[in-house]
């Protein structure tokens, strides 16, 4: 690296090394571009270091602990089952290191000849940026730039982070299992983490402002999760508004209202999960280059991921749409392909959404409500887990598969699944919708027996009016 005022020329500058930025960097390098990736913390961003991967590791550990305690119905009784939470955290951290370190993303950067700078970037003008850390400062002139700075947890004024008030980041790194916890926000992050700690033995209280938990999903799906929360001893208050808190060295007392009635609950920790804020307000020069902004601090882009400055692109949590790692990666590929001269555009028809709750919820395409609102005459097929041999044999009879098709054309419009392994089952439905498959195509596809995947075929048969196993 050249240090000083002389600019080093680079094809593509990528700001942010999360699942959008590092994927964009790899794709651009594979398409023949010289790439500099600037990351101020660790490669992998929030997803791999403080979000998707560590949370799923803890969720998996909690499932194993629960299974070890509650398998007497199939003739297996375990005595003296204990949790060494320090080892659980060490195992989780090992997974993170494997994915992000020299054997993971670091190796991919080296393999694709991507220069990585650990520090920050600041635009000087529309074609130049200064990158810097405590030891080095350099100036780069770029032909294209991809901004992928991600997002951070929203902080409530009445519940400032620190001490016993946690964001999801701190909740994933506790060195002990709390005896009690209040979760403010019943969206997917709050439910995933709240339910996980409940399985570990924490007394959990969830405060959600909407009428139901997981408000982004239809009630017929979220109510199964609500049932399991209740069975795990989690107390859920909906239409609840958190007002403030009183902290001591040992606990936090939260004051909240439910339909005008004031209540209080005291716990070891308060976890605030009320959404995420795009990282566009940092001092990296967006105002200087006058990139056009959308609502809520998001950057406005076109269908090629270009901002109002055509050679500057934005992807991931800082642009409109759901804040999902796989959406960011997809947009990163599109941006890199456009830079390389390919005729790529973004198409959000098939972005799966998954909640790793118990049971899992997964969705892709249109829901029944959305399909009707779009003017379709719908054909709906539902098939229950309890009628599937594989689901029964793995002890997971809860849930169902729901397919939504157009009754006139037979075209598959959407799929929603609640139940074990729905996060994996939804991929087949995403592919089917992407390829323009019909309900008949799905029904005629031979699925291996006995598998959970058979339920997709069965649901299609229900929608077509000739169910086989219900």
Of the candidates 254, 259, 258, the one whose C-alpha atom is nearest the C-alpha of residue 243 is 254
Instruction: Determine if residue 275 is labeled as part of a ligand binding site.
Output: yes
Sort strands 35-39 and 115-118 into parallel, antiparallel or unpaired: parallel
**Which sign does the torsion angle of CA 435, 441, 447, 452 carry?**
positive
Is 447 among the catalytic positions? no
Instruction: Determine if residue 201 is labeled as part of a ligand binding site.
Output: no
Instruction: Determine if residue 185 is labeled as part of a ligand binding site.
Output: yes
- Which residue carries 């060195």 as its tokens? 175
Instruction: Determine if residue 151 is labeled as part of a ligand binding site.
Output: yes
Residues 179 and 203: their CA atoms lie apart, in Å, by 6
Instruction: Determine if residue 77 is labeled as part of a ligand binding site.
Output: no
Q: Determine how many CB atoms are found less than 10 A away from the CB of residue 103.
A: 11
Instruction: Determine if residue 189 is labeled as part of a ligand binding site.
Output: yes
Structure tokens at 257: 């209202």
Instruction: Determine if residue 209 is labeled as part of a ligand binding site.
Output: no
Instruction: Determine if residue 213 is labeled as part of a ligand binding site.
Output: no
Instruction: Determine if residue 56 is labeled as part of a ligand binding site.
Output: yes
Residues 6+ apart with CB under 8 A from 82: none
Q: Determine how many CB atoms are found less than 10 A away from the CB of residue 62.
A: 21
Instruction: Determine if residue 79 is labeled as part of a ligand binding site.
Output: no
Q: Reduce the DSSP state of residue 433 to 3 states and report it.
A: helix
- Which residue carries 């759901």 as its tokens? 322
Instruction: Determine if residue 420 is labeled as part of a ligand binding site.
Output: no
Q: Reduce the DSSP state of residue 151 to 3 states and report it.
A: strand
Give me the numbers of helices (H) and strands (E) for the chain, helices first please.
15, 22
* Catalytic residue selected from 311, 449, 466, 469: 449
Computed on alpha carbons and rounded to an integer, the radius of gyration of the chain in Å comes to 24
Local structure of residue 71 (DSSP, 8 states): -
Cα-based distances in Å from 147 to 84, 87, 405: 41, 37, 38
For 336-404, give the secondary structure using H, E and C.
HHHHCCCCCCCCHHHCCEEECCCCCEEEEECCHHHHHHCCCCEEEEEEEHHHCHHHHHCCCCCCEEEEE
Of the candidates 286, 311, 288, the one whose C-alpha atom is nearest the C-alpha of residue 297 is 286
Structure tokens at 249: 């060295």
Instruction: Determine if residue 188 is labeled as part of a ligand binding site.
Output: yes
| N-terminal to C-terminal alpha carbon distance within the chain | 66
Residues 365 and 386: their CA atoms lie apart, in Å, by 25
Instruction: Determine if residue 208 is labeled as part of a ligand binding site.
Output: yes
Q: Active-site residues: which are they?
A: 449
Q: Which residues participate in the annotated binding site for FAD?
A: 56, 149-151, 317
Q: Which residues participate in the annotated binding site?
A: 56, 149-151, 185-192, 208, 275, 317
Q: Which residues participate in the annotated binding site for NAD(+)?
A: 185-192, 208, 275
């Amino acid at each position: 690296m050249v240090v000083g005022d002389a600019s080093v020329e680079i094809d593509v500058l990528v700001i942010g090394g999360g699942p959008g930025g590092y994927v964009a960097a790899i794709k651009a390098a594979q398409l023949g571009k010289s790439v500099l990736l600037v990351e101020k913390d660790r490669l992998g961003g929030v997803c791999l270091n403080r979000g998707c991967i560590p949370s799923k590791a803890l969720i998996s550990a909690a499932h194993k602990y629960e299974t070890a305690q509650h398998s007497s119905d199939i003739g297996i009784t375990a005595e003296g089952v204990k949790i060494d939470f320090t080892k659980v955290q060490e195992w989780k951290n090992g997974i993170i290191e494997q994915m992000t370190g020299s054997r993971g993303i670091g190796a991919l950067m080296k393999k694709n000849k991507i220069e990585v700078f650990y520090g920050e970037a600041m635009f000087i003008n529309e074609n130049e940026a200064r990158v810097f850390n405590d030891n080095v400062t350099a100036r780069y002139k770029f032909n294209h730039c991809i901004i992928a700075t991600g997002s951070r947890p929203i902080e409530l004024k009445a519940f400032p982070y620190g001490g016993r008030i946690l964001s999801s980041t701190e909740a994933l790194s506790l060195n002990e299992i709390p005896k009690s916890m209040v979760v403010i926000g019943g969206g997917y992050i709050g439910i995933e983490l709240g339910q996980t700690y409940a399985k570990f033995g924490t007394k959990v209280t969830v405060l959600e402002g909407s009428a139901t938990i997981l408000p982004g999903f239809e009630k017929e799906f979220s109510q199964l999760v609500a049932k399991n929360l209740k069975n795990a001893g989690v107390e859920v208050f909906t239409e609840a508004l958190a007002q403030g808190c009183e902290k001591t060295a040992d606990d936090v007392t939260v004051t909240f209202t439910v339909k005008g009635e004031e209540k209080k609950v005291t716990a070891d920790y308060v976890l605030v999960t009320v959404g995420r804020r795009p990282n566009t307000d940092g001092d990296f020069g967006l105002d200087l280059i006058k990139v056009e902004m959308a609502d809520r601090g998001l950057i406005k882009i076109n269908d090629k991921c270009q901002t109002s400055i055509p050679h500057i692109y934005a992807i991931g949590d800082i642009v409109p749409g759901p804040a999902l790692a796989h959406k960011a990666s997809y947009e990163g590929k599109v941006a890199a392909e456009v830079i390389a001269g390919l005729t790529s555009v973004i198409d959000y028809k098939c972005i799966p959404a998954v909640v790793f709750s118990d049971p899992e919820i997964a969705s892709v395409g249109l829901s029944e409500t959305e399909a009707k609102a779009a003017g379709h005459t719908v054909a709906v097929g539902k098939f229950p887990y309890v009628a599937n041999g594989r689901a029964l044999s793995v002890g997971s009879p809860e849930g169902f598969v729901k397919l939504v098709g157009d009754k006139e054309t037979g075209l598959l419009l959407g799929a929603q699944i609640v139940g074990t392994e729905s996060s994996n089952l939804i991929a087949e439905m995403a592919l089917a919708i992407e390829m323009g498959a019909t309900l008949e195509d799905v029904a005629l596809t031979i699925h291996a027996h006995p598998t959970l995947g058979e339920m997709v075929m069965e649901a299609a048969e229900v929608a077509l009016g000739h169910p086989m196993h219900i």
